[in-house]
């Protein structure tokens, strides 16, 4: 084990570095939940669900969760409604609505990084 600050080798069970006095393992131990270590902060389930229900046709909830590919497809479908008399917009709307409901119902429970959504 080595000091995070200065790299000095630490004695076993030491609470402070003998060289610089920094506390051992003080700040990095806080995030002990392993599933939260691969992509940063967990996002709000409710926010993502409501975004899906109200702005789902624009793919906003998927942008929010990091599912960029689906988000872009929804956005394109929505905008393509100008040339399809709203048909594709309706499809994107229903798709987003269903995803919004699935997010709130817990069927979609992780974001694109695999980080669980928080309530
Ligand atoms: Zn040190």
Taking the centre of ligand 1 as the mean of its atom positions, its distance from the CA of residue 36, in whole angstroms, is: 28
Measured CA to CA, the distance from residue 50 to residue 52 in angstroms comes to 5
Please calculate the CA angle 29-30-36 and round it to the nearest 5 degrees. 100
Q: Is 97 among the domain residues?
A: yes
Taking the centre of ligand 1 as the mean of its atom positions, its distance from the CA of residue 1, in whole angstroms, is: 11
Q: What is the mean pLDDT of residues 82-97?
A: 97
Taking the centre of ligand 1 as the mean of its atom positions, its distance from the CA of residue 30, in whole angstroms, is: 19
Query: What's the total number of domains in the chain?
Result: 2
Domain extent for 78 = 45-105
Residue 93 reports pLDDT greater than 90: yes
Query: Chain-wide mean pLDDT for the chain?
Result: 89
Helices (H) and strands (E) in the chain, counts: 4, 0
Q: Is 119 among the domain residues?
A: no
Q: Is 54 among the domain residues?
A: yes
Q: What is the mean pLDDT of residues 85-99?
A: 97
CA dihedral 73, 110, 117, 46 (to 10 degrees): 40
Q: Is 111 among the domain residues?
A: no
Q: What is the pLDDT of residues 67-77, one digit of tens each?
A: 999 999 999 99
Taking the centre of ligand 1 as the mean of its atom positions, its distance from the CA of residue 3, in whole angstroms, is: 5
Taking the centre of ligand 1 as the mean of its atom positions, its distance from the CA of residue 28, in whole angstroms, is: 15
Tokens for 118, please give them: 């928080």
Residue 29 reports pLDDT greater than 90: no
Taking the model in full, what pTM does it have?
0.65
Q: Is 37 among the domain residues?
A: no
Please state, for a pLDDT cut of 90, what percent of the chain lies above it. Answer: 66
């Amino acid at each position: 084990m080595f000091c995070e600050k200065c790299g000095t080798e630490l004695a076993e069970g030491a609470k402070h570095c003998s060289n610089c006095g920094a506390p051992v393992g003080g700040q990095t131990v806080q995030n002990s939940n392993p599933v939260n270590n691969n992509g940063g902060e967990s996002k709000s389930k409710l926010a993502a669900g409501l975004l899906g229900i109200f702005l789902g046709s624009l793919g906003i909830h998927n942008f929010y969760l990091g599912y960029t590919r689906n988000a872009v497809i929804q956005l394109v479908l929505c905008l393509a409604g100008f040339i399809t008399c709203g048909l594709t917009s309706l499809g994107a709307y229903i798709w987003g609505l269903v995803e919004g409901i699935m997010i709130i119902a817990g069927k979609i429970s992780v974001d694109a990084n695999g980080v669980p959504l928080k309530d």
